[in-house]
Structure 1
Amino acid sequence: MLDTAFLVRRQNPGFLLTSLSYAGGLLVGLTVSAMLLVHAGVPASALVDEFLIATFLTSDGLSQTATAALPLVLVGLASAVAMRVRFWNIGVEGQLWLGAIASTWVALNGIGPEALRLPTMFVLAALAGAAWIAISLFLKLRWGVNEVISTLLLGSVAFLLVQHLLFGVWRDPANSFPVTATFPEASWFSILGWGQLHTGIFLVAGIALSIWFVMEHSRAGFYADAVGFNAKAALATGLPVLRTAVGLVLLSGALSGVAGMMIVAGTEHRLNQSVGNGYLFSAIVIAYLARAKPLWVIVVSFALGAVFTAGNVLKVFYSISEAMIVLMQGTVLMSILMAQFFSTYSLKRPN
């Protein structure tokens, strides 16, 4: 019976089937995640309170969710734009660390006038992130090195570089922990007066809208889709395949670098060992769930920010580990991917 069946790709799954499969996968993933939390000791009645009321329906919770979503939007966009040209950026954390390092260097050394301190941090963070991913891009173009391996390994190198700085020349002598001194206030995003939400939200909104316009309403976006679907066919028709791929890959690294700047200048106000933790997997989850669409990246990032906010509460009051929060993200992602697989392919048996 099933041993003679085979998979056939649907030519046009349709909006209804695609939407139902996405919603069904999301529902299954959330249900399994809830069961895992209950098994770990979280009362079922507390799930609604922590994941809905405390994160969306209270002023403090909503501000925390929005603040947590800002770097998530940037790393989600970073993963999404690279994905559009089939470059698998698994080193988002490494580029984020480099952006944080560059921003910290500017802040600690007072580079430039105070009025231009944040713009300087932004530019150098973007350049540092782009330069870090450029190493993997060069290795792929020159010797065919798989970017999954090179970006992932460079992420570890970046973290070791941070360790070297925090335990060395940048360590705050007034602190027993491996952290830098607190940045001068000129290197902070201004607080808006609603929780920890800061003016970085305007920068993130401007970047996200710009990426949306470029990817969905410009020639560059058309080129990116053509390269992503079939690079050889795009090259045969005369499209600038190499220039498009290189540009979007460097943009991916730059966005990750800016995410590092967003964290150290927006909430941490110093460099520490936890700045980049957890953003690699989150970037992949966001890009896949949003299907590499910039506007959907914002929506998914906001939802994931709520998970981060609720997860922090669960860790404090119910002793839930960080690994459990990552497991929840993975469960939702795998559920949606499996549902989308069956909406994309149908099972056929020979007559």
Structure 2
Amino acid sequence: MSSFRLTLERRQQVSTLRSTTTYILGLLLGLGFGLLVLLSAGAPAATLLDDLVIQVFFSAMGLAQTLTLAVPLILVGLAATSAMRLRFWNVGIEGQLWLGAIGATLVALSDFGSESLRLPTMLLASAIAGAAWIAVPLILKLRAGVNELVVTLLLSNVAYLLLQHLLFGAWKDPVNSFPVSPRFDENEQLASLGFGNLHSGIYVALGITLLMTILVQKSRTGFYVDVIGRNRTTALATGIPVTATITLMILLSGALAGLAGGLIVIGVEHRLTQTIGINTTFSGIVIAFIARFNPLAVLPTAIVLAGIYNAGGTLKVFYGIPDAIVVLIQGMVLLTLLMVQFFSSYRVSLLRQSAQQPGQPST
């Protein structure tokens, strides 16, 4: 009598062809499941192509809205990439984004600095605030080994409560019944590009993407990050400045998330509101995974995800599709990518075993 046993064996080498094929397959599977979800939720199949592609990427109004939504998504994608390349799970991107928005608003409402430098000061304040917010879990991680998942997540709740406290208290616009801050002055708003709501923050996002690509792929720091991300013990043994590199990249992650919040309030809202940055943590992680932690690939990935958000708004208005469906589709794409990439790295074998007969000597 024989039996069968499943074994899992890690592949010594994964070819570029196998890696690329499985990645594309996982992406297509995730999108296919997402389409099935949309159809089951009531979206008409006849208009899905027009709603999801044509109106979002090939019409002037749709493309402008998609690019506007992509600006903060690019930065949160880069923020997640910066941290997760070192296996630091920054799940507090929303909190850092809110602190960045608060920092920019503080500069605007207090009229800090000269008017000619107000915008750069607001952007700098947003980046510093985001970096400061992630510094707490970073220090606890390095000094006491505290899990960053717990601390970054809890700090997001603290950040939201702080946001609520300011908007319902000292910063509430007295002439508005909603919990929003006073509107920023003209010199505290990013210039409009005359293409829908798209603003000059797109240039900031593109420039930072280029700088991040150079940092990660062309600099010594990028080499350090790769080694530390693969094996921290080996990095320490070879004399790589592990603590300094981790500190730099994690603070950079918080700064990028904070800058995303600053660009939202300076470029789009022109005031602080309580609705900014919702679901940006999950979106940033999804973008980072789909882009394979490559800063340059974050750019098109964020634009496609912004298009999905844009299309989700249309589906909500015309067909009653809830916003949660868009988040569900993101999760399905992420899960299928993870599963397919797992099987590209591991080999599953079915082994046949012969059962030992009674009285037969063991071998």
SS in 2 for 1:192: coil
SS in 2 for 1:349: strand
Matched, 1:8 2:9: yes
Classify 1:2/1:326 alpha carbon distance in 2 versus 1 (closer, same or farther; 3 Å).
Answer: farther
Matched, 1:186 2:187: yes
Matched to 1:23, the amino acid is I
CA distance in 1, matches of 2:9, 2:118: 56
Summarize the alignment of residues 121-140 of structure 1 with structure 2, pairs less than 5 Å apart. Answer: 121-140=122-141
Summarize the alignment of residues 1-351 of structure 1 with structure 2, pairs less than 5 Å apart. Answer: 4-350=5-351
SS in 2 for 1:194: coil
1:225 Cα deviation from its structure 2 partner: 0.5
CA distance in 1, matches of 2:144, 2:336: 36
Deviation per CA, 1:120-168, whole angstroms, max 9, x where unpaired? Answer: 0111111110110000011112221100110011011100100001110
SS in 2 for 1:277: coil
Deviation per CA, 1:36-90, whole angstroms, max 9, x where unpaired? Answer: 1111111012211111001111111111111111100100000001111111101
1:324 Cα deviation from its structure 2 partner: 1.1
Gaps (5+ residues) in structure 2? Answer: 353-363
Classify 1:2/1:235 alpha carbon distance in 2 versus 1 (closer, same or farther; 3 Å).
Answer: farther
TM-score (norm 1): 0.98
Is the contact made by 2:122 and 2:262 (CA closer than 8 Å) also made in structure 1? yes
Gaps (5+ residues) in structure 1? Answer: none
CA distance in 1, matches of 2:192, 2:76: 22
Deviation per CA, 1:241-278, whole angstroms, max 9, x where unpaired? Answer: 11001110000000000000010011111111111111
SS in 2 for 1:204: helix
Higher alpha-carbon deviation: 219-228 or 21-30: 21-30
SS in 2 for 1:171: coil
1:2 Cα deviation from its structure 2 partner: 8.9
Is the contact made by 2:100 and 2:258 (CA closer than 8 Å) also made in structure 1? yes
Is the contact made by 2:80 and 2:284 (CA closer than 8 Å) also made in structure 1? yes
Matched to 1:262, the amino acid is L
CA distance in 1, matches of 2:298, 2:95: 21
Matched to 2:192, the amino acid is I
Poorly superposed stretches of 4+, deviation over 3 Å: none
1:350 Cα deviation from its structure 2 partner: 3.7
Matched to 1:12, the amino acid is Q
TM-align CA RMSD: 1.2
1:3 Cα deviation from its structure 2 partner: 5.9
Is the contact made by 2:8 and 2:349 (CA closer than 8 Å) also made in structure 1? yes
SS in 2 for 1:348: strand
1:312 Cα deviation from its structure 2 partner: 1.1
Residues paired across the two proteins, number: 351
Higher alpha-carbon deviation: 15-24 or 88-97: 15-24
1:101 Cα deviation from its structure 2 partner: 0.2
1:349 Cα deviation from its structure 2 partner: 3.3
Deviation per CA, 1:175-207, whole angstroms, max 9, x where unpaired? Answer: 111111111111111001111111111111111
Matched to 2:18, the amino acid is L
Deviation per CA, 1:278-309, whole angstroms, max 9, x where unpaired? Answer: 10110010011111100011111011010111
CA distance in 1, matches of 2:112, 2:316: 38
CA distance in 2, matches of 1:161, 1:322: 25
Deviation per CA, 1:192-248, whole angstroms, max 9, x where unpaired? Answer: 111111111111111110010010000000000011101111110111011001110
Higher alpha-carbon deviation: 291-300 or 4-13: 4-13
SS in 2 for 1:341: helix
CA distance in 1, matches of 2:279, 2:46: 27
CA distance in 1, matches of 2:291, 2:225: 17
Higher alpha-carbon deviation: 81-90 or 313-322: 313-322
Q: Percent identity?
A: 52
Matched to 1:273, the amino acid is Q
Is the contact made by 2:77 and 2:283 (CA closer than 8 Å) also made in structure 1? yes
CA distance in 2, matches of 1:322, 1:182: 28
CA distance in 1, matches of 2:12, 2:48: 40
Classify 1:129/1:60 alpha carbon distance in 2 versus 1 (closer, same or farther; 3 Å).
Answer: same
Is the contact made by 2:70 and 2:302 (CA closer than 8 Å) also made in structure 1? yes
TM-score (norm 2): 0.94
CA distance in 2, matches of 1:183, 1:313: 29
1:32 Cα deviation from its structure 2 partner: 1.2
